[in-house]
Structure formats: structure tokens, C-alpha cells
Amino acid sequence: MQGWLTGERLKCAVGRGLTGERLKRAARWPGRAGLLIAAVPLLLALLGPLIAGDAGPRTASFTLGGGHWLGTDFVGRDVWRQILLGGQSVVLVALAATALAYAIAVPLGLAAALTHRAWLEELLMRPLDVLLAIPSLLLILLVAAVFSPGAAGLALLVALVNIPDAARIVRAAASEAAARPAVEALRMQGETWWRTAVGYVGRSALRTFAADAGVRLTGVLYLVATAAFLGVGVEPDAADWAVMVDRNRTGLFVQPWAVVVPALLIVALSMGGNLFFDALLEREDGENRKPPRPHPKPFRQYFRYFRYFRYLRYFPRHTKEGRR
């Protein structure tokens, strides 16, 4: 048997122990970076209103200079001041709407995933499908016309628009975990529905929920802005980053800062937040991470890749390259 010779030649020590700390350190910086990136918009949102000061006089719209270091916006207000003021509603309304959507979608989706009664699932999910089929814009238009909801109403509305979507994703993400023997065992223990559903099934699909919620939050921001333009919720000229991006876009080539700065803040918020949660989940299940050190594989494995040369050289199909 010639195998050993190869083995001998490639004999290689696992040697140096690789510890968890190094992994943690590796996982730490993106988390920090995410937090840092998100911190800028968050701090601005939090502290901005405190240092915004009084509104100065308006000047012409979309101008630069004249004491406005980020220029003026579409109605001649100071962009910097609008930015200082505009984070709070973004963060509050969007977060509230997303949280609300999830607060309803998660139990709904989990209930649909966990039930064994087909009728219950249809009862929970099919009406939502009806909502899905109606363009959200039409819904918002209607509400804009019939009611005149304030910020809270807006959060509700935007949440409503997002529920069917989120519930479907929750359901899809949870359905595999919901059928695991572990769930049967939990039921056997008489575990409460919430602990089973949220504590186990939800926990298993947490990464998917986080990914969806993180992206959804950004979508919600702009939905709020669209709604504002249609007269729902915040005023159409409100100090709100998403509204600013939306309303100042006509001046993009005259006074780009009025669009670019709030857009960047939103990008930072979304990117930073998502990266942070990525890193957090990474650390959370650190013990499910890849093993510390892959097994030292014989060098021969790399010969495998030679087979790809076949395609370059137009070798006949039956070149000898079977695994063994």
C-alpha cells in the first residue's frame, strides 16, 4: 500500500492550538465597525434636536453658502438644521413600525408554522394574502384620503402594510424548525406556546428574522417618506431624513447635499445596524462556528483541480480522472 508514503510526506502537526479568543477577536471588529457606523446617525438623531437651535430665516431653495454650510433645501431652509432635527422621527417611526409589524407577524407566522390544523393556517395566512395583492400605495392613498393619521397612525399603517410580507417570511423560515423533534419534545414537556414558538422555533430562525427586519426597516423609512408626500403621518416638508431625500431630489444637481447627507445617514443607519446584528449573532452562536482548524488534508487534494484543465484543452471526455 503506497498510501502511507503520501501520508508520511504530508504528515503535519495540528500543533499550535487555536483558541476561541482569537475567533472572538476576529468577530469583534466588524461588530464594532457596525456599531460605529450606526452610531453617527443614532447620535445625530438623539442629540440633534438638542443642538439644532432656532430656525433662521429662509432663503432661496437649493442654494449653497450664505451661512448654510450644507446649503438650503427645497423650501429654502438650512439643510444642516433639518438633518439635526430629522433623525428622531426616522428612527422612532420606522423602528416603531418595523417593531410593530414584527410583533404581529412573528406570532402569526409562527402560529401558522406550528399549527397542525390546515384550516387554522389558511385562516391566518390567506386573508393576509388578500392584503398582499393590493398595492400598498393604494392602501396608503385610501387612508390618506379617509383618515388623517398622525405619526402613530402612520406607524400603524406602515406596519399593517408590512405584516403580510413579514408573516410569510416568518412562516417560511420557521416551518422547518417547527417540525423538528425538539418541538415535539417541548410539547411533550407541556411547554407553553410562547416558549416553544418564540423561544425555540423563533430562536432557530432568528438570523433570518434579523436579516429580514434589518432590510425591512430601510424599506419602511422610505414608505414613511412616500406616505408623507401623500399627506399621511408626518408633514410633507417635515424634518425627516427620508422625507428630505424624497423631497430634495429635484435639486440633486444644484445642491446635492440636501439629498446626499440624509441618504448617507440612512445608509449608515441601515448598514451599521445590520452589520452590528450580524456580528452579534455571529458571536451569539460562536460555538456553532467552524471548527478551529481544518484537518490537515493531504496535498493530493489539490490535484483535483487539474481536472478543470480538461475544459480548457478540449480533452476527450473520458480522460482518466476518476476519483479512484
Partner 1 sequence: MSAAANVVAEVDDLRVEVGGRAVVDGVSLRVRAGAVTALVGASGSGKTTTGLALLGAYPPDARVTGTVTVTDDLVGHVPQHPAAVLNPARRAGALLADIARTQVRHLPRRERAEAAEHRVTEALSRAQLQDGAALLRRYPHQLSGGQQQRVVLAQALLLGARVVVADEPTTGQDALTKRRIVAELTSVVQQGIGVLLLSHDLDVVRELADDIVVLKGGRVVEAGPAEQVVSAPRHTWTRQMFAPQEGTRQMFALREGAAGAGPRVGAAGAEPRDGAAGAAPREGASGAGLRTGPVPDPLPVLEAPVPEVPVLEVQDLTAHHRGRGSRRTVEVLRNASLRLQAGRRVAAVGRSGSGKTTLGRCLAGLHRTYEGEVLLDGVPLPRSLRDRTPAQLAAVQYVFQDAQASFDEHRTLLAQVARTAIRLRGAAPADAAREAGELLAEVGLGEQHLHSRPGRLSGGELQRAALARALLARPRVLICDEITSGLDTVTRRGILTTLDRHLSEQPDLALVWITHDLSTVTAADQILVLDAGNTVEQGPANRILTAPRHPFSVALVEASTGARVTVAGA
Partner 2 sequence: GTGSGSSGSGGGSPRRGGRLRAAFAGGGASETLDPHLGNLFADAARAKALYDKLADCGTDMAARPRLAAKWEPNDTLDRWRITLRKATFHDGRPVTAEDVLYSYRRIADPKKAYRAKASLEPIDLAASRAVSPDTVEFRLKRPTAEFPNVLAAFGAYIIPKDTTTADLAKPVGSGPFRFVSFAPGRSCVVKRNDAYWDGAPHLDELEFVVANEESARVNALLGGQVEYAHELNPTTARAHEGKGQIEIVRLRNSAMQSFAMKTDRAPFDDPRVREAFFLIADRKELVDGALSGAGEIGNDLFGKGYEYYAGDLPQRHQDLDRARHLLKQAGAEDLRITLDTSPVAAGFTEAAGIFRDQAAKAGVTVRVRSGSKDSYWSDILDGGTLCCYRSGAMPIESHISQRLLSDSTTNATKWHHKDFDALYQQAQSTKDKKERAAVYGRMQRRLYTEGGFLVWGFADWIVGTSRRVHGVAHDAPANTLDWARFDKVWLA
Partner 3 sequence: MTGGVVGDSVGTAEALGAAEVVPSRTARARSVPAALLRSWLARRVLLGVAQTAAVVLLVFALTEALPGDAAVALAGDQPDPARIAAIRTELGLDRPAAERFADWVLGLLHGDLGTSLASGRPVATYLADGFGPTLLLAALTVVLLVPAGVGLGVLAARRAGSLADRLVSSATLAVYAVPEFALGVLLVTLFALRLGWLPPTAVGFGGDLLAHPAVLVLPVLVLLSRPVCSISRLVRAGMIDALRSPYVRQATRYGLSTARVRYLHALPNALAPAAQQLARTVDWLLCGVIVVEALFVIPGLGTVLMNAVAERDVPVVQGLAVVFGVIAVVLNLGADLVARRLAPRAGVAA
Q: How many residues in the shown chain lie near partner 2 by CB under 8 A?
A: 25
- Residue 2 DSSP label: T
Name residue 87's beta-bridge partners. none
Other C-beta atoms lying within 10 Å of the C-beta of residue 77:
22
The grid coordinates of residue 165 equal 410580507
DSSP, collapsed to helix, strand or coil, labels residue 12 as: coil
Q: Is 78 among the residues that bind partner 3 (CB under 8 A)? A: no
Query: By the 8 A CB rule, do 128 and 164 touch?
Result: yes
Q: Is 1 among the residues that bind partner 1 (CB under 8 A)? A: yes
Grid-cell match 432590510, residue found: 215
Q: Which of 135, 150, 292, 296 binds partner 3 (CB under 8 A)?
A: 135
Q: Which of 1, 4, 5, 288 binds partner 3 (CB under 8 A)?
A: 288
Smallest gap from residue 210 Cβ to partner 1 (A): 15
Name residue 78's beta-bridge partners. 72
Smallest gap from residue 246 Cβ to partner 2 (A): 11
H or E element, residue 221: helix 206-229
Query: By the 8 A CB rule, do 266 and 95 touch?
Result: no
300/211 Cα distance (integer angstroms): 39
Amino acid at 36: L
Q: Is 324 among the residues that bind partner 1 (CB under 8 A)? A: yes
Positions touching partner 3 (CB under 8 A) are 26-27, 30, 33, 113-114, 116, 118, 122, 126-127, 129-130, 132-135, 137-139, 141-142, 145-146, 165, 168-169, 171-173, 175-176, 178-180, 183-184, 187, 205, 207-208, 210-212, 214-215, 218-219, 222, 245-246, 249, 252-253, 259, 263, 266-267, 269-271, 274-275, 278-279, 282, 288-290, 323
Positions touching partner 1 (CB under 8 A) are 1, 3-4, 6-8, 10-15, 17-20, 23, 116, 118, 176, 179-182, 184-192, 199-200, 203-204, 286-298, 300-301, 317-324
